[in-house]
A = this chain, B = another copy of it.
């Protein structure tokens, strides 16, 4: 186990790993579970050791908007930011592939920042990379049209899974981009005509993208 954590978070010092083992608790959640809702209080910082979590924003009318995915070796920046004062979550977190997460009580957060250099650096880097990712999201919706955003979305997916196939229905994609299925279908069809993708049921093969 200790080795497992060290493999997933190689930057952590051995003492830090030991401390995490001691104070954190490991939990498994199935795909579909909602780990966090808008407005909910946060009591733990979450480190992902397996699976995939989707972080998204929910509109008043129930629409969704994907911010980013969390994968093994990463942590939820929101949970880190909010824990320090037990603030409310501003986002939704949903498990998309069965996950294992290490939950760390919020009191540890401040303590470790002072005691463990590798924790401090990890936290700062988490803030930085998430902030950057959100800025990129802003760029996309502020400056790009739906066809560009769709391309970007597909690329991001294939980067994340390391393969050339995106196994999602048009409806699922539409939901994450907060648009309608028809729009996604039409744009994908155009991309297919341009030779960028090949469409199958519940699956999109990326050809010339990347």
Question: Which residues in A have some Cβ–Cβ distance to B below 8 Å?
Answer: 57, 59-61, 63, 65, 67, 77-78, 81-82, 84-85, 87, 90-91, 110, 113-114, 120-121, 124-125, 127-128, 130-132, 134-135, 137-139, 141-143, 178
Contact, CB under 8 Å: A82 / B142: no
Q: Give Cα A153 to B60, complex, Å.
A: 19
Nearest residue (CB) in B for A59 is B143
Closest 5 CB pairs of A and B: A59-B143, A65-B142, A81-B128, A141-B141, A84-B124
Q: Give Cα A130 to B128, complex, Å.
A: 12
Looking at the assembled complex, report how far the CB atom of A133 sits from the nearest CB atom of chain B, in whole angstroms: 10
Question: Chain B contacts of A120 at CB under 8 A?
Answer: 110, 113
Looking at the assembled complex, report how far the CB atom of A67 sits from the nearest CB atom of chain B, in whole angstroms: 7
Question: Chain B contacts of A60 at CB under 8 A?
Answer: 143
